[in-house]
Amino acid sequence: MTDFIPFIKALILGIVEGLTEFLPISSTGHLIIVGDLLDQVLGGGGAEQDKVFKIVIQLGAILAVCWFYRARLIRVARGIRTRPTERRFAFNIIIAFLPAMVAGVLFHDVIKTYLFSPLTVAGALIIGGFVILYIEHQPPRRRVRHIDDLSTAIAFKVGLAQTLALFPGVSRAGATIMGGVVFGLSRQVATELSFFLAIPTMLAATAYDVFQARDLLTSDAIPLFAVGFIAAFISAALTIKTLLHYVANHDFVIFAWYRIGFGVLVLFTALTGLITW
């Protein structure tokens, strides 16, 4: 049974990554909390290779987005030189990506060292939940109803909002989607933009982390990585399709209350000593 425990953890964490990466509930926060809890319940953990695993499984979620939007991505690649619409789309994604790239390089080590803990995540989950509730209760400011109508100025503003997600527990999807709503995007357009923006953002972050931890990549870890990768890909693909259908007719209040409830639960278990985070 002991031999299967790493694979069980890999499967669970892969599913968690895929389910939470594109929802406004923070995949990084959930991986930190669930990973810490699994280490206490199933044993193990603490190894540097665990950090590499959590990085690698993000690739599964990234590829799920690429697969889901493969037709648009191919169209952009083919038409970027000849079609103004595709060229502007690609330019806006790059502009939106730049703030997080710069901030990530500047503050990466500080964030990894001091903020990656279940309690800081719980606090960010709760605060972010109340922010979503506040935004959802404001009068709608929908000016952009198609992603091709997105202006460069709004793309840059959404990119600035994404930098908030460098704090674990804030949620990259939450920052970009709610930022988009605040800046006049419909929920559908804000969600689509969040998906497309995830591609360069997550690829860059993953590549940077993998490069820094390249000495920890070993061939004997490939089976574990494969389990987590496949689980993340499948669960992310299902989440993307479900979320797009959901936002067509619903707001994000349910995610706000989930964040608040989950964050309070983590703090409660810590304060009462039920779990030593």
Question: CA distances (Å), 184 to each of 59, 128, 138, 164, 189, in order?
Answer: 30, 20, 12, 19, 10
Mean pLDDT of 216-224: 76
Q: Is the pLDDT of residue 246 over 70?
A: yes
| Listed range (21-25, 111-115, 168-172) with the worst mean pLDDT | 111-115
Mean pLDDT of 53-72: 90
pLDDT, residue 153, reads: 96
- DSSP conformation class of 185: B
pLDDT, residue 49, reads: 63
Mean pLDDT of 114-133: 92
Q: What is the pTM of this model?
A: 0.90
% of residues, the chain, pLDDT over 70: 95
Q: Is the pLDDT of residue 46 over 70?
A: no
Contact 65, 239 (CB under 8 A): no
Mean pLDDT rounded to a whole number for the chain: 90
Question: CA distances (Å), 165 to each of 168, 170, 171, 201, 218, in order?
Answer: 7, 5, 5, 11, 30
pLDDT, residue 2, reads: 55
Contacts of 150 (CB under 8 A, 6+ apart): 89, 92, 144, 185, 189, 193
pLDDT, residue 79, reads: 94
What's the one-letter identity of residue 13? L
- DSSP conformation class of 92: H
Q: Which of 28-42, 46-60, 142-156 has the highest mean pLDDT?
A: 142-156
Mean pLDDT of 109-132: 89
pLDDT, residue 44, reads: 63
- Give the rounded distance of the alpha carbon of 80 from its chain centre: 27
What is d(CA 179, CA 159) in angstroms, rounded to the nearest whole number?
A: 9
What tokens appear for 261 in the block?
Answer: 């409830």
